[in-house]
Structure 1
């Protein structure tokens, strides 16, 4: 009986050792994955600027939502407003003359959408218009999406 008992204890001991090895292997794999993942976490601050842009002299974020343009006298904002009026004139065979940007909002998309209220003269009479312009500055691309009197 004692040989059977010793043999049973040896089998249990070997089984226990195998379980410990499997657990330590899983633990080591988990630690290895964690060590590979941690450096990636350190890279997240580097990509913070990917979803941001510079509008009116300040860096902005919030991909998808419309945000007010704080500095409507910024030369780039004025350029977008002038582009909107000029492009509308070409498409509608109109003769509006750009005066100023009254107010505006921007939206970060695959590029930037600008929703501007511009003042323009039509035959000497000043009126306000809402223009939406999509811009991809890195491609030197602008597209007038909509233009209507408000």
Structure 2
């Protein structure tokens, strides 16, 4: 099993297979524009700029399931990310990350890397998952974990 068997719609509405990221180290994160952790976009972008040439991709998936903190349309989200944080890493269309309508990718991520006390539920925005070059989920990071604090783990996979 790997993340490569999943596909998702980009923020521009194009359906893409995650297999296009084969042989890359991935950081997959559920995001929101009106969250206390939203400034992590800046750190995620800095990490992306620093590491993209080494085969690292950051994949952002907006989600409105936590406190209604991502109410905008795909266009609103894209504009917000570009204007406020200069986001140039791949962003995807808004998804559910838990519950009955959860995107299958996030169901898989949560099963492969359970959270605190073995929880397979994503509890908040900016939960981050590290995936190796073979598409295997290596680790889950809590929303409060700064993207710069996962750099060492990423470097071990490069």
Q: TM-score range by the shorter chain?
A: under 0.3
Structure with larger RCO (C-alpha < 8 A, sep 6+): 2
User: TM-score with structure 1 length normalisation?
Assistant: 0.22
Higher percent of residues as strand: 1
Higher percent of residues as helix: 1
Q: Between Structure 1 and Structure 2, whose CA radius of gyration is higher?
A: 1
User: TM-score with structure 2 length normalisation?
Assistant: 0.22
